[in-house]
């Protein structure tokens, strides 16, 4: 399986990092080795002193597809989840400055937290899902999928022009504002509406 991530999909997050609003979705990949194993803590890697949490809504692909039209995109997923796209922000800034690829800052081991999934049928609309991240019991990020620049079905259309989507692939749909540095002993807990979908200890 592969993980496809979307950057700069929420206006408030684009502003906080002083990025330009993109004309097209910003897409990057994480390999399967980036997945943080269930119940394992996240260890801050020694190559970064500024790891940020980015809470994101996840979409699990259930059917193989290429060049998927937006109006059929809903047939390609049944499950919605929540995760963290851990980002070595200091390293990413250096790479961005030089116009180099982001992989070392985004796709390293343990950088993808994948929580539990919920059936899509649980939601009236996938374009109106509230989600949040707490750090040590305090809410640090909050979002609603209605605020995405590119909604889930539009993302599937766009991504599948370039990459064949396969069963089990997971899309990270971008983060809202509130990204911040994590520190040892942080406990990061993610919610969709009131349901807890993951809890990760930082070490
Ligand atoms: Zn992200």
Give the pLDDT confidence of 124-149 residue by residue, as tens digits.
999 999 999 999 999 999 999 999 99
d(CA 189, CA 140): 10
Assess whether pLDDT exceeds 90 at residue 22: no
Q: What pLDDT is recorded for position 77?
A: 98
pLDDT, average across residues 171-178: 97
Question: Which pLDDT band holds residue 13 (cuts at 50, 70, 90)?
Answer: confident
CA of 86 to the centre of ligand 1 (A): 7
Assess whether pLDDT exceeds 90 at residue 20: no
d(CA 25, CA 23): 7
CA of 174 to the centre of ligand 1 (A): 5
d(CA 19, CA 16): 8
pLDDT digits (tens, 9 = 90+) for 45-66: 999 999 999 999 999 999 999 9
pLDDT, average across residues 100-111: 97
Q: What pLDDT is recorded for position 26?
A: 95
Q: What pLDDT is recorded for position 17?
A: 86
CA of 175 to the centre of ligand 1 (A): 5
Three-state DSSP class for 91?
helix
Whether the CA torsion 107, 176, 45, 190 is positive or negative: it is negative
CA of 78 to the centre of ligand 1 (A): 22
Q: Are 152 and 165 in contact (CB under 8 A)?
A: no
Domains of the chain: 3-201 (3.90.850.10)
CA of 119 to the centre of ligand 1 (A): 23
Identify the CA nearest to 80 among candidates 19, 155, 18, 140. Answer: 155
Q: What pLDDT is recorded for position 15?
A: 85
Q: What pLDDT is recorded for position 95?
A: 97
CA of 37 to the centre of ligand 1 (A): 19
CA of 172 to the centre of ligand 1 (A): 7
CA of 9 to the centre of ligand 1 (A): 9
d(CA 159, CA 157): 6
| pTM for the full predicted model | 0.97
pLDDT, average across residues 102-110: 97
Identify the CA nearest to 200 among candidates 118, 113, 109, 142. Answer: 113
CA of 71 to the centre of ligand 1 (A): 25
d(CA 157, CA 117): 22
Q: Are 55 and 148 in contact (CB under 8 A)?
A: no
């Amino acid at each position: 399986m592969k993980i496809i991530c979307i950057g700069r999909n929420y206006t408030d997050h684009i502003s906080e990092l002083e990025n330009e609003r993109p004309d097209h979705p910003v897409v990057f990949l994480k390999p399967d080795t980036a997945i943080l194993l269930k119940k394992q803590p996240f260890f801050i890697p020694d190559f970064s002193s500024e790891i940020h949490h980015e809470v994101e809504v996840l979409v699990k692909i259930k059917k193989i597809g290429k060049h998927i039209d937006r109006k059929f995109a809903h047939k390609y997923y049944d499950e919605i989840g929540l995760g963290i796209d851990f980002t070595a922000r200091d390293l990413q800034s250096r790479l961005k400055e030089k116009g180099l690829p982001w992989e070392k800052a985004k796709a390293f081991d343990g950088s993808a937290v994948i929580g539990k999934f919920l059936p899509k049928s649980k939601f009236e609309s996938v374009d109106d899902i509230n989600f949040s991240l707490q750090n040590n019991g305090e809410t640090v990020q909050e979002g609603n999928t209605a605020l995405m620049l590119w909604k889930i079905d539009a993302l599937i259309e766009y991504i599948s022009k370039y990459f064949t989507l396969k069963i089990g692939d997971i899309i990270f749909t971008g983060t809202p504002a509130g990204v911040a540095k994590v520190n040892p002993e942080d406990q990061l807990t993610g919610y969709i509406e009131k349901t807890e979908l993951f809890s990760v200890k930082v070490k």
